[in-house]
Amino acid sequence: MTPETGVWKLDAGKNPEAGFALLVAVIFMSVMLAFALMLGSLAYKQTVLSSSAIQSQYAFYAADAGLECALYADQQLGTFRTGTSETLSCSDQLPVASVAVYGQNGTDYYKATLELEGNTRCAVIDVHKYPAPVGGFTTYIFSQGYDVSCDIVSEPPANARFFSRGLQAHY
């Protein structure tokens, strides 16, 4: 401040370090902003990943329920006898699923769709029965579980995203 005018006056010619503190503050704030953005991005990705893990578990459990249902229906109820067309029912709590039967070269194929949890999850079950080399039949069961309803699986809307997990049994 000069005594004559009472106003602060910067004279760049006399003080070459003027504004240095402002430059340091701007650089420091830029680094801190980049660090905060990086942490925010990391937190968002972790949230998406944990949500994906939950949806994946739903799909796995649907596949497991479908496989257990098909194993029970085949081994205890005899549902998948060759040449028959029956409905698949595992318990009073699970809805009856549709079973399509088709055969080729002595092999019978069964395809069932099982709605789970009030049609919020879905399991698609494929059962193949083919003649064993020694006699009888060999059975292959594949259950594909989804974390969405069977309606979305059968006719997915545009840009639909859902998880699927599969389990199989062969005996």
Give the total residue count for the chain: 171
Yes or no: say if 99 and 85 are a contact pair by the CB < 8 Å rule. Answer: yes
The one-letter amino acid at 87:
T
Q: In what order do the strands lie in the sheet with 164-170?
A: 98-104, 107-116, 121-131, 137-146, 164-170
Identify the CA nearest to 132 among candidates 120, 124, 140, 141: 140
Q: What is the pTM of this model?
A: 0.67
Burial of 101 (0-12, 13-18, 19+ CB in 10 A): middle
Residue-wise pLDDT for 16-46, tens only, equals: 666 788 888 999 999 999 999 999 999 998 8
CA 65, 111, 55, 154 dihedral sign is negative
Q: Contact, 122 vs 145, CB < 8 A?
A: yes
**Average pLDDT of 110-131?**
85
Rounded Cα distance between 4 and 2, Å, is 5
pLDDT per residue over 52-111, tens digit each? 888 899 999 999 999 998 888 888 877 776 655 666 667 655 555 556 666 666 677 888
